[in-house]
Structure 1
Amino acid sequence: MNNDIVAGKWKQLTGKAKAAWGELTDDELTRVEGNAERLTGLIQERYGKTREEAEKEVRTFFDSNR
């Protein structure tokens, strides 16, 4: 999904992101602002995943919410 589109729809997607990654706080999701790189970093840090695993999760999340 195009990053500009994601950023524009981010407020709508935060609920789904919260459901997908429940350990992320509302403040963290707000700071992400739909930026895939920031979200990947947060998931990697919070869940102890590799960069590749986190990137795949984020890509799948954005693709499924077009």
Structure 2
Amino acid sequence: MNWNQIEGNWKQFKGKALAQWGKLTDDELDQIEGRQTELAGLIQERYGKTEEEAKREIDDWMGRI
């Protein structure tokens, strides 16, 4: 699966993202509309991760869904 597929079907994947990163809100996930860079920024902000850690988490998540 690639990010374009996730972004194109964000409403379907949003719940899975919320389950993975529970500190993010439904409204925040609606606002980013599946944009990977913005998701990484939210993960950094809420979880105190570096940009590299956030991107790695997203890649790992993509591999599992």
Any unmatched runs of 5+ in structure 2?
none
Equivalent position of 1:35 in the other structure: 35
Structure 1 residues not aligned, in runs of 5+: none
RMSD: 1.2
Report the TM-score when normalising by structure 2.
Answer: 0.88
User: 1:33 Cα shift?
Assistant: 1.0
Which runs of structure 2 are paired with 1:1-66 in the superposition (5 Å)?
1-65=1-65
- The 4+ residue runs of structure 1 with deviation greater than 4 A are none
Q: Distance in 2 between matches of 1:31 and 1:17?
A: 13
TM-score, normalising length: structure 1: 0.87
Q: Percent identity?
A: 54
Separation in 2, partners of 1:41, 1:8: 19
